[in-house]
Amino acid sequence: MNEPPVIRIDDGVRHQTIDGFGVSTAFRRNELIRALPEDVQREILDLWFSREKGAGLSILRLGIGSAPAGSPYDEMVSIQPEDPGGPDAPPRYVWDGDDNSQVWMARAAREYGVRRFLAVAWSAPGYMKDTGRERNGGRLKPEWQRAYADYLVQYTRFYAQEGIEITDLAFANEPDWTAPHASMRFTPEEAVQFVKVLGPVASGVRLVCCESLGWTEAKAYTAAIEADAAARRWVKVFTGHSYATPVDSPLPTKRPTWMSEWHPNGLTWNTSWYDGSGSDGFTIAAAVHDALTLGNVSGYVYWLGASVGNTRALLLIDEEAKTYHVSKRLWALAAYSRFIRPGAVRLEAVSARPALKVSAFRNPDGSRVVEVLNTGVDLVTWEGLGGAVTAYLTSEDESLGVVPVAGGAVPLPPRALTTIILR
């Protein structure tokens, strides 16, 4: 009896369409990069956005500030830092054309072809909230709802003025958690109500809800909006994070869903591919696989692109030496994002080997991308492939290194991620 193929792809069974993969540079992390020499800046931009040298990311997540003018690094400054005199007073917006260096980053990303820009508000300015502060939760005062909606729309208009289209807009970030930094609470019911205020004035942008702390928690927000016809018409993308709970099943909607923020826990800067720490590259590869195959996500956005200290960002910035260091987390994400392009459709893919986590995609150009994460300790070979086949290996020793393919057979090394392109 013939053994079943190691991997089987069914082009006739199609799942979600991919919007893209991205990174967040909120809380003024752009300033770290902008302070580096121009040649170093370019290297980092290449690592994030180039399809030849790096990850080819296609989504940039921006932070809408709520802090007073003159706030220090790590606090995003508001476009209306002072109370204009009440919710019905004429607004007094302030725009410097820079937005904590985010305009600079957005323009750079756009040069590489990035077209999805997700702007997220962590909080309204403190004067709009019942606590009077941007930090430590609190709720939007009911009388400020329309003014806050106008505030968010004005943010998108300022970016349009700079030549950047904010395509996706979120009015809350982790509304189910009182964070010590900028944060604001919404219940699912309150989110439904505010969507009906924001939606009619935010024409031309996709509304996003609700950036919950965990994926399971996002289901309550998604279900509440889907159950309300007036709110449902406005929200185009549903999102959740993976801190409280991981992505293990789809959200209750037919709209696109994004895993829009997560990084693993850890207390040290870690460059390893596989070390059992839970913050290595292998962990990221497994998380992306699960989000795509278990959660049917259309977008995956990592937190953060770069930072300082004992960070779990993709890159570590060394401010003193004016350089940077790369984690294998970047290459784990890049193995997916460089090759699975916006508009790709996920295909049904199964493996006869339980140790292989497999996903497959058909790109708009007709190419098929097969991602194979070998979680076992044995080498497996996928044989019988026809046509033009190229493969890339991400492991402890390789960062998208070219894999020799002979006779239609691709080796799948243990504890490694192999990306296979079929044409």
pLDDT digits (tens, 9 = 90+) for 322-353: 999 999 999 999 999 999 999 999 999 999 99
Residues 6 or more apart from 52 whose CB is under 8 A from it?
Answer: none
Kind and range of the H or E run holding 220: helix 215-226
Residue 209: cis peptide before it, omega within 30 degrees of 0: no
Residue carrying the six token digits 């996003």: 208
Smallest CA-to-CA distance from 128 within 190, 168, 170, 81 is with: 81
Residue 304: cis peptide before it, omega within 30 degrees of 0: yes
What is the arithmetic mean of pLDDT over 120-134?
Answer: 98
pLDDT digits (tens, 9 = 90+) for 138-162: 999 999 999 999 999 999 999 999 9
- Position 2: which residue type? N
Per-residue buried b or exposed e for 329-338, using 16+ beta carbons within 10 Å of the residue's own CB: bbbbbbbbbb
Q: What is the pTM of this model?
A: 0.97
Smallest CA-to-CA distance from 344 within 79, 86, 56 is with: 56
Q: In the predicted model, is pLDDT for residue 2 greater than 80?
A: no
Q: In the predicted model, is pLDDT for residue 62 greater than 70?
A: yes
Alpha-carbon span 243 to 263, nearest angstrom: 8
pLDDT at 3: 79
Sheet holding 368-374: strands in order across?
Answer: 7-17, 345-351, 356-362, 368-374, 416-422, 389-394, 399-403
- Position 257: which residue type? T
What is the arithmetic mean of pLDDT over 100-126?
Answer: 98
Alpha-carbon span 53 to 27, nearest angstrom: 26
Contact 291, 259 (CB under 8 A): yes
For residue 64, the Cα-to-chain-centroid distance in whole angstroms is 16
Smallest CA-to-CA distance from 292 within 8, 7, 19, 6 is with: 19
What is the arithmetic mean of pLDDT over 133-137?
Answer: 97
Cα–Cα–Cα angle for 206, 209, 215, nearest 5°? 135
Smallest CA-to-CA distance from 26 within 134, 100, 107 is with: 100
Residue 73 DSSP one-character state:
T
pLDDT confidence bin for 296, thresholds 50/70/90:
very high
pLDDT at 286: 98
- Position 381: which residue type? T
pLDDT digits (tens, 9 = 90+) for 67-83: 999 999 999 999 999 99
Q: In the predicted model, is pLDDT for residue 1 greater than 80?
A: no
Tokens of 134: 């941007």
DSSP 127-140: GGBTTSSSBS---B
Residue 314 DSSP one-character state:
S
pLDDT confidence bin for 4, thresholds 50/70/90:
confident
Q: What is the phi/psi pair of residue 287, to 5°? A: -65, -40
Contact 214, 249 (CB under 8 A): no
Helices 215-226 and 188-198, packing angle to 10 deg: 50
Kind and range of the H or E run holding 206: strand 206-212
Q: What whole-number percentage of the chain has pLDDT above 90?
A: 98
What is the arithmetic mean of pLDDT over 36-58?
Answer: 98
What is the arithmetic mean of pLDDT over 5-26?
Answer: 97
Integer distance in angstroms from the first to the last C-alpha of the chain?
A: 30
**β-bridge mates for residue 419, sequence order:** 371, 392
